[in-house]
Structure 1
Amino acid sequence: MLDAAWQEGVAHFNAGRWWEAHESWEDPWMRARGEARGDERAFLQALILLAAALHKRWHHGSLSHRNLFKADAYLARLPGVYGGLDLGGLRAQVWAALNEPGLSPQIVVAVPGEHAPAESTLAE
């Protein structure tokens, strides 16, 4: 099972509390160091950047495509499904939400366990 910070971040993200999601994922991202954990770190970094893009867009009124494009660089390193998430689908949801008020992307674990980060890495 993924750690409490991961789950807390997902709950914040799905409720539109993107800054809080970003903050929840920061510690697991900082702990995901080393070559063996490169995919996990890229995964968390992409999620942090997607949350930051949404926060900037809807709380500061700024266009935040720069964060979205930074997230793309991390997403490109990963398989299409990672941590049970359809990353392309999530990215498309975020893109739509950046351009359409009222849309709220959701993180849904569609394929539990497929390319999921190891329990021991996110639960440290």
Structure 2
Amino acid sequence: MSLLTEGVELFNSGRYWEAHEAWEREWTPDRKGLDSGFYKGLIQVAAGCLHYSRRNRRGALNKWRSGADYLRPYLPAHHGLRLAPLVQAVDGFLDALAGPVWPELPMPRIDQEGSPEARASPAPGDRGDNPRGQE
């Protein structure tokens, strides 16, 4: 299994720290390559989900904003991953977090091209908590 695929599976199961780590291992050897922004975007979106799960508004806003911006040049899909629904979900999260009340947001999923669903919706019961408290 590639580190990209491993990261997607971890992300979709709410293990955002571990997804971040898998993608970082893929990105680190070629930080200036053509896919640099793609991996930075995935890493930052995962970090935003982790911050959100800890109710860290500022961290979630910052990471989600930068993550979505890194991913935009790769829309609608890249390396077989549907990025448009992910970026659309993150944009909605940014709007929701701008208000004074803490919003209850469904964490996004990353789907592959050709999958039956093009969604950025939560896995059932997924809140994205990280029991080890890692960042």
**Identity across aligned pairs (percent)?**
29
For residue 93 of structure 1, report the CA deviation from its aligned partner.
Answer: 2.8
TM-score for both structures, normalised by structure 1? 0.72
In the comparison of the two structures, how many residue pairs are matched?
A: 106
| 2: CA distance, partners of 1:33 / 1:53 | 20
Residue identity opposite 1:91 in structure 2: V
Please name the residue that 2:8 is paired with: 10
CA distance, structure 2, for counterparts of residue 107 and residue 78 of structure 1: 14
1:30-74 deviation line (CA, Å, top 9, x unaligned):
12234xx32x1111110000000000111x211111111111331
In structure 2, how many angstroms separate the alpha carbons of the residues matched to 1:94 and 1:72? 7
- Bigger fraction of residues in helix: 1
Structure 2 residue 31 is the aligned partner of structure 1 residue 33 = yes
Question: Normalising by the residue count of structure 2, what TM-score does the alignment of the two structures yield?
Answer: 0.67
Q: Which runs of 4+ in 1 moved over 4 A?
A: 95-100
Distance 2:13 2:105 in 1: 12
Equivalent residue, structure 1, for 2:56: 62
1:107 matched to 2:114? The reply is: no
CA RMSD of aligned residues (A): 2.3
